[in-house]
Structure 1
Amino acid sequence: MKNSKTNVESLYSWIDEITTTIQEYVNETYLDSLIYAQECIFHCSPTINHDEQLTHKLETLLQTTSLADYTVEEIRKANQLAILKGMKGSTQAQHMMTPETIALIIAYLSNKLMDEKKEIRIFDPASGTGNLLTTVFSQLSQDKEAYASEVDSTLIQLGVWNANLQKQQIEFFHQDSLQPFLLDPVDLVVADLPVGYYPDDVRASRFELQAKEGHSYAHHLFMEQSLKYTVDGGYLIFVIPEFLFESDQADQLKNFLHEHAHIVGLLGLPDTAFQTDKQKKSILILQKKGHHTTTPKQPLLVKMPSFSNTNAMGDILGQINNWFQTYKKRS
């Protein structure tokens, strides 16, 4: 039996070969060719009438491997490698993916927060390629309804096929995530927040966190929008820039969060995971205030060690487990 790493690598090689074969015949980027490759893999056949030579090549390639021979995790990881390859050649700043290790930490925290619920509704308002949401989705054992929103047409197509290949039922909204949604409030929001200014000042003026002057911060507005679509007592897990509470609009954000949410935890991600200080990120856990919610006596405050230091990671996870036991008992 092949080990999991070999399985992931062999599946990635197959996806990559199909993608590069398509790219040779169509004048598209690797990511756009990957979207069509995923579609062909899902349907087990070419879905568009190209010239006979490409169609024949694709039919031959598609017969060499079957997704049925792989686990959902192997499919997700192989797909992730193909997307990462495409993103290396991309010049667009928003074409980034939440790293695997960070997605798994968020999945672990989601499990801790949701372990007493039998049914869960999850929403990612900045879903990108869907890697964060599909990782969390696959790690939660309960009955789930999942929703995702993404404005970028390339990223949302990658996200849709990502979910389809993993046989995960996720409903996608192709829209600006700061516009209203036809969505009932959810139990859990996960998001790797897009950082920067939001250009639509008219739309931003409808938010409490609009800037006093100039453009508003998109990452602030995303937090407010996410709280709006969370049930009372529900949880939100955000990947945030480390400077979030030190920016020029930080006091406004702190006051807003104090009014609407409890800060449950803040996990500093390891410095080794980022190339520069400006890129450093943390994980923020919030609970939306409700009639029966209370602020934790001691929030979960952790600085994560290097992901490669397995002993230190084991110690930190033990501390986090102990903290969650105390947190759950409080209610």
Structure 2
Amino acid sequence: MEKTNVEKLYEWLNEAVMTINMHEDAPYLDNLAMAINVLFYHDTQNLNNDIVKKKLQTALENIQLEQYDKMEKSKAVQLAILTGMKQSTQQQHMMTPETVSLLTGYLASKLMAGHEKIRIFDPVSGTGSLLCTVIDQLQNPVEAYASEVDPTLIQLANGSANLLEKEIEFFHQDSLRPLLLDPVDLVVADLPVGYYPDDVTAAAYHLKSDEGHSYSHHLLIEQSINYVKEAGYLIFVIPNFLFDSDQADKLRGYLLEHAHIIGLLQLPETAFKSKNNAKSILILQKKSEKSKEPKQPLLVNLPSFKNARAMEDIMNQINTWFTGFKQN
């Protein structure tokens, strides 16, 4: 049975990683970033080992990148990243499920309809899969920005963006520190959950904890609102317990003052490994003199993504809601 282009490209990347791994004592994901760069630049000069250089130069002769379309490249890279993440013990080395990214992109396209040019920012871009998927669904010209503190993830994101022909400006930094970024039209983020260890930086935020470490996901919501334009939109993938935690009252108060809650879509538990990992999508709009609360927020409990008929019904209802929302 003939292999698909996705399988062929994934196998090339995986074998390149294995080749590098034989001579470089580094994790799979670090070597994958190296392999992606070799493939994109069609060059092995940045490699230190002559044996690896020779093997990968031979491997490059057996692949023509122009034969693969963007979707095939995207899926192959995602498969390779998932292979590496199975071997990783780091919690932040997780990727947003593709179905969740596609839904986020659909919501972004509805919110950004009518914009001539869109400035978009992901403050916790990880491997860049969420941002790239959202960009694909926006019909308008896009200026994209992303920030990521993890050196391995930002290398993967930059390499993937090159392969997928996406122009994204990356900031390698802690997104809770000041950014050299003008306000954007849209923020998208799959929020990492946990405590933020830098109490000095956290002290500048309204959502800092009164005692002990602050929640990084709360601070990231506040920072995102800081960097979005007046009446701009924010789409967050959030843990289902976001508004049930011990600091939830402060978060609710902050959002009431600074943002409109446009919608909350609870994702199906089947999209995640366990009920404890289940998430939702929160849509906010930064308050301005011209903005106003929606008459009825978009509140949805999504069925299983595998239930095509139920999903079609829900999407029709969401489309109808957006028609009314845009007419307000």
Q: Tell me which interval the TM-score lies in, with the shorter structure as reference length.
A: over 0.9
Q: How many residues align?
A: 327
**Match of residue 170, structure 1, among 157, 168, 180:** 168
Q: Which residue of 2 aligns with 1:287?
A: 285
Runs (4 or more) in structure 1 with deviation over 4 Å come to none
Distance 1:153 1:51, change over 3 A: closer
> What residue number does 1:263 align with?
261
Contact persistence 1:305–1:313 (CA under 8 A): yes
Q: Distance in 2 between matches of 1:166 and 1:273?
A: 25
Partner of 1:130: 128
Distance in 2 of aligned mates of 1:188 and 1:118: 13
Per the alignment, residue 151 of structure 2 pairs with 153
Identity rate of aligned residues, in percent? 58
Structure 2 residue aligned with 1:296: 294
Distance in 1 between residues matched to 2:65 and 2:233, nearest whole Å: 34
| 1:14-54 residue CA offsets vs partner (Å, 9 max, x unmatched) | 11111111112211111111011011001112132544432
Normalised to the residue count of structure 1, the TM-score between the two structures is: 0.96
1:1-331 alignment runs, 5 A limit: 6-330=4-328
Distance, in Å, in 2 between the alignment partners of 1:263 and 1:108 is: 18
Q: 1:49 to 1:264 in 2, by over 3 A?
A: closer
Per-residue deviation, 1:13: 1.4
TM score, norm. by length of structure 2: 0.97
Could you tell me which amino acid in structure 2 is paired with residue 274 of structure 1? Answer: F
Q: Is the 8 A contact 1:39 1:47 kept in 2?
A: no
Conservation of the 8 A alpha-carbon contact between 2:97 and 2:271: no
Return the offset for 1:277.
Answer: 2.4
- Take 2:158 and 2:66, find their aligned partners in 1: how far apart are those partners? 19
Q: Tell me, in whole angstroms, the C-alpha distance in 1 between the residues paired with 2:88 and 2:162.
A: 24
Superposition RMSD in Å: 1.2
1:148 Cα offset (Å): 0.4
Which moves more between the two structures, 183-192 or 307-316? 307-316
Q: Check whether the contact 2:264–2:281 (CA below 8 A) recurs between aligned residues.
A: yes
- Conserved 8 A contact 2:45-2:53: no
Residue aligned with 2:22, SS = helix
CA displacement 1:154-201 (0-9 Å, x = unmatched): 111111111111111100011111000010000000000010111111
Q: Which runs of 5+ in 1 are unaligned?
A: none
> Counterpart of 1:27 in structure 2: which amino acid?
D
Task: Point out where structure 2 has 5 or more consecutive residues left out of the alignment.
Answer: none
